[in-house]
Every structure is written in structure tokens, then in C-alpha cells.
A and B are shown apart, each in its own frame.
Chain A
Amino acid sequence: MKYRTLIIWLMINVIVLGIGSYFYTQNQQAMEDLKIRTEGMYQQSFHSLISHIKTIENYLAKSLVATDLINQQEIMSTITRQVYSSQEELGKLPLILVPLINTETTLQKIADFAWQVNTKNLKQESSLTSPEWTTLVDLKQCTSKLLLNLQNIQSNIIENNLRWVDIELMYSRNEVADNTVIDGLHLVDKDVKAYSETQAGILPHVREPKVYYNSDQLIDERTARNEAAGYLGKLNLEVGEPVQVIQSEGDIPAYVVFFDNGVNQYTCAVTKAAGSLAWFMGDSILTGRQLTNEEAINLANEYLNRLNFQNVTLVGHNTNDNAIMLMYAGFQDDTVVYPEMLRLNVNLNTGIITGADFSEYLKYHHQRTVTEASLAESDIVDQLPKNSVINNIQKAIIFNQQGQEVLTFEVAVSIAGENYLIYLNADTGIEENIIRIESKT
């Protein structure tokens, strides 16, 4: 009998082990399949990336001799398109161990340059300036080097069956990066960087505006706490005691003061200079609509008065289920000053202010004189597209793409069932910007 039990036990063991190992191998197989599939996607992105860079390099080389405007335009458009595709492919690769920042920045520069040349072409200014020419040669050489380095990695990957998935695993196991692909990518970015300092002929076509914030009259942490409590008091908020103060070293250095009244968190940033209110946020998520938009706007106006913001005008609003976000801009001499933007969030259930953002106002507020427009409104109207219905015209200061303030006529028009704001330069009539206003459909 004993002998028989033993055999039965043995058989059960064999069966259990068998089933176990069967499922184990199945599972391993499934894991391996997943890895192979992921690897396939990584390989596809990497090899496509190199094809795109190859095209860019090729077209940059062609552009050195292209003099025909139309031909040049086609070359530059192709370059722009290929840069966009390379950026897409780069975004699909696991590059956290080797951030290719210089490479990505250079790609963007190439696109900016192509845009710059195409703009010249539109204005029929065919020849490149000498810094532009130097830049073009430089970009071409840089791209050739980039291509060469990438192709080296590519042949290494192909010959030795190297896998991106392994790099990913190394990262998740927190291993020191010792891998020929990673070394190769480090070299790629280093070599690109060596070129980046000489590419001076590119005018970035979008520039940051000048910041007027100055850091005089520094306050200490104690004052910051009191100031923050004071601002929130003016907004009628019961925020309790400050629980923590941290420092922020961003564009506008600030003390960030945390409050907690047991129910809600409120956080308020006051600038280190002069202790102005930079921004504040509350986490209230009460839903339900008790207030109408008008009531909320009236409330917000009142609070802005209390905070001493008088010369501002409401320029936009945005509602979701429990809050309305109101945007104000500076208002001076019948002109909307969009750079001086500030925002308030009003909870539509309780009517309390749940957020404020004055950081842009602080950055771009300064004494300005609004110049007379040399064009009249009637000149502007002639420029608008035919069939458009004009709803409103007012003067507005906006930033142009070079980050400079320009005086414009802001024309609200409707055409073909769509609404737009068109900004026409008040002196030259140039179209500075168009904004489409999307309505709920």
C-alpha cells in the first residue's frame, strides 16, 4: 500500500511540474514575442530616422547650388517635411539614457532655416546673405557628420543584432550604460554640438519677448508668508495657516506658500522682489452650477479691484462643468494690451476664486505709450476677405513673431460659418496673426 501511495504522489508531482513548466514556457514565449514586436517598432523608427536624415543631407547639399527660386522652394519644403518626420521618429525611440538634445535642436534649426529661405523666396529676394550662406554650408556639414555617425550605429546594430529592447531593460534594471549603441549615440550628440555654435545665420522665427520683471526690493520668507495670507484674505478665502514655504527659481523667482484649511489646499506664489502676487491655485472640485457667467464675471471684477488691477479688460472666458476661467488683458487709451494678460478661475458652485495667474502680467507689464495708428479703420476694412461680416474692430497691442509689441487692429469677423480674430498691423496693414474661434458643435 505504502508503495502505491508513493507512486501516486510521484505521478502527481510529475503532472504538476509538467503543467507548471508548460505554462512557464508559454509565458516566456509570450514575453519573448512581445519583446520581438517592440523591437520591430524600434528598429523601424531608427532605420526610418536615418533615411530621413539622409534625405535632409542630400537636399541641403543640393541647395548649395540651387539658384532657381521655385527649385529652391521645393528643396526647402522637402527639408521641412523630412525634419518633421525625423522628429517624429526620434520621439518613438527609447532615448532616456542618451538624450539627443543637441541633435533635436539642430534639426529644429534646419527647419527654421528652410522656413527663413522660403520666406525670402516669397519676397523674391533670391540671394542668401553671407551669414546665411555660411550657415547653410555649416548645417550641411553638420548633417553629413550626423548621418555618418548614425550610419555607423546602424551597421553596428545590423551586423551584431543589437537590440533597443536591451537598452530599455538596462534602464529599468538601473544598470550602468555600457553599450555600443549608447556610446555611439553619445558621440552623435557630441559631434552635433561641436557645430552648433557657428550657426549664427539663423534667425529663430519665433522669439521670446523681453521680460520687464526686475528683482529689486527683495523680501524675506516671513514677509512672503504674510503677503500671501494677505492676498488670499482679499479674495475672501479661509485658507488656514501656512504649512510650508518653498522657493522657486523660475523666470520670476518666488516664494511658494502652501496653505491647508483641513478641507482644501491653497498654494500662493509671491515674487521675491516686492512681494507681488504671481499665481495662486486652490484644489476645490465642487461641481454644480449656481452662478451664471455674468455673476461670475462681476465677482471677478470686484476681486480684481480689491487687488488693485483697474486698467484691465475682459478678453476671454472658458467654462467647464464647475469653473469659469476668465482672461483679462491690460487696457490703455482704448487699446487692449494683450501682453499684460492675467487669468482668474471662478468656481461656479461656490463663487470662490480657485486660481489666479499674474505671471505674464508681471513679466511684460511696463510703462508704454500707445502710438497713433497711421492707418484708419476704413483702410483696414478694405483688406479683409470678401464676404466676411465684421462684428467688431478695436485697437490691440500684441507680440509679433519676433517677440516685439506691435499696434494692430483686432477685427472680429464671421465668414462661412466660422469666427475669427484677425490682427492687422495699424501702420503697415500686414496681417500679424489670425486666430480661429472654435465654437461648440
Chain B
Amino acid sequence: MKSKLIAVIIILALTSIIFTDALGERVLYWGSRGNDVVELQRKLKNWGYYDGSLDGIYGPDTYNAVRFFQRRNGLSVDGVVGPEVFKSLGVNVVNNSQNIANAGTQVTSNDISLLAKAIYGEARGEPYVGQVAVAAVILNRVNSSAFPNTVSGVIFEPLAFTAVSDGQFYLTPNSQAYKAARDAINGWDPTGGCLYYFNPVTATSSWIWTRPHVITIGKHRFLK
């Protein structure tokens, strides 16, 4: 429900979900992949336990190296890199509370892509701040009781966004649009909570002029 979402956001104002992958933030085992595996491999290599490539894939070589390391350090030899191994590796296990930026939201990485597409379709010629502002309006709508409760619900509301109606939404967004989407999800809101924006040159609805104006960025007027 919307109310739960709002509650979570109010309490910590967190809106991010892109995952972290520094060593020590998750347990690693055969099959794990990622930057943290690279870091693990580098450490093991520096100390002579491992001589494979730093490919970020926990395969048989890494497994053997980890077991070798565990045996040498008197740990239980299971090939699983957990808190004990991190400690012996000299990795500061990141305190759980360090990770809360990931928590408390229903926004997924696919939602970020949807936002980026909306930004690119609606505001690609606009200043960077104007792009973040468009994404912020979408996220403000998700949290408002007068609009649908999901990112996709807001974006695909019939006629709500011209980019969706005329198909520009389906263009491939550039990396700037993705960055703008992430900034908005991380909590940056240049509009201070606006729910509407329009281009005064092409606006068709006279009703929109009755809303209180907050800021004009580039071609877009943002309204409460």
C-alpha cells in the first residue's frame, strides 16, 4: 500500500536500491560473481594463495585458493567466504547499518530503466537538473494519493506523459538519463515535491495553469 511506502520514506527518506558490491557485504561461494570477487582474488593473489586471473568469477581456482587460505588460517575448510574469512583477510566487515541506503523501498533496477526512458523521451534536450526534475515528479506522483502507486503505473497512465503517447519513450536512453534517474531515486528533488510540469508553449490543458508554480527549468514549468 501507498501508506506503507510513504511511512518508510518519511522515516529515512531512502529511495535507492542499486546494490553495493564491496568485499565484505555478502557471503561469497562457488558461482558468485562481481567486483567483490575480484577484490577477493586480488587479496588471495597478493598473498600467494591464488594464481588465476582476476575475472570476478568464483570458480574452481578461487575455491581451491579459499580452501587453502582457510586451512592455513585454522578456519573451517568449506570454501565459503563468510565473516570469519573476511576477518582473517583483514576486510572490515561493513556494519549492517552502513547498508541502509539499499533498504526500504520497492523501486527496482528495472524501475530505474523505466525512469531513464521517461527522462530521455520527455526531457533529453533539457538541462541536467531539468531531467532529474522530471524523474522527481514521477516519483512524487508514486507517493501521492492522487496518482497510481507504482513507477510504471504513473508513467503509463493514459495521456499523462507525451513521450509515452508519441512513442519517444521507446528510444534508447543515454547514460545521462540513467544518472538523472539514479539521482532522483537517491533522493535529489530540484522541484521540492512538485506533482506536475508542462511546457507552456505546447500545453493544451488550461487547468494546469491553476496550480501553484514552484520553479521553471529550461522549457518546463514545475507545479505543486
**Secondary structure call for the A interface:** mixed
Q: How far is the CA of A294 from the CA of B11 in the complex (A)?
A: 27
Minimum Cβ distance to chain A for residue B207 (Å): 7
Q: Cβ of B3: which chain A residues have Cβ within 8 Å of it? A: 111-112, 115, 205-206
Interface residues on B, range: 35 or more
Q: Cβ of A168: which chain B residues have Cβ within 8 Å of it? A: 158-159
Cβ contact of A248, chosen from B1, B95, B104, B192, cutoff 8 A:
B192
Task: Please determine whether B97 and A316 come into contact, CB atoms closer than 8 angstroms.
Answer: yes
The A-B contact count (CB < 8 A) is: 224
Task: Please determine whether A341 and B159 come into contact, CB atoms closer than 8 angstroms.
Answer: no
Interface residues on A, range: 35 or more
Q: Cβ of B193: which chain A residues have Cβ within 8 Å of it? A: 250-251
Cβ contact of B12, chosen from A283, A345, A391, A435, cutoff 8 A:
A435
| Residue A416 at the chain B interface, CB threshold 8 Å | no
Using known A-B contacts A87-B149, A93-B158, determine if residue A327 contacts B100 with beta carbons closer than 8 Å: yes
| Residue B8 at the chain A interface, CB threshold 8 Å | yes
Select the stretch in A1-9, A67-75, A98-106, A302-310 that faces chain B.
Answer: A98-106
| Residue A320 at the chain B interface, CB threshold 8 Å | yes
| Residue B201 at the chain A interface, CB threshold 8 Å | no
B:123-160 near A, CB below 8 Å: 127-129, 132, 145-149, 153-154, 157-160
Select the stretch in B50-58, B64-72, B208-216 that faces chain A.
Answer: B208-216
Task: Please determine whether B159 and A355 come into contact, CB atoms closer than 8 angstroms.
Answer: no
| Residue B60 at the chain A interface, CB threshold 8 Å | no
Cβ contact of A435, chosen from B26, B103, B158, B190, cutoff 8 A:
B103
B residues neighboring A (CB under 8 Å) = 1-3, 6-8, 10-14, 16-22, 25-26, 34-35, 95-104, 127-129, 132, 145-149, 153-154, 157-160, 165, 175-176, 179, 182-183, 186-194, 204-205, 207, 212-217
In the complex, 21 of the A-B residue pairs with CB atoms within 8 angstroms, ordered by the A residue number, are A88-B148, A96-B159, A108-B2, A108-B145, A168-B158, A168-B159, A256-B129, A267-B127, A281-B190, A293-B20, A315-B98, A316-B14, A319-B22, A323-B179, A391-B96, A398-B11, A421-B97, A421-B100, A435-B8, A439-B102, A440-B25
A residues neighboring B (CB under 8 Å) = 42, 80, 84, 87-88, 90-97, 99, 101, 104-105, 107-108, 111-112, 115, 168, 171-172, 174, 205-206, 208-209, 246-252, 256, 258, 265, 267, 269, 279, 281-283, 285, 287, 289, 292-293, 314-320, 323, 325, 327, 338, 341, 343, 345, 355, 357, 359-360, 391-392, 394, 398-401, 403, 410, 412, 414, 419, 421, 423, 433, 435-440
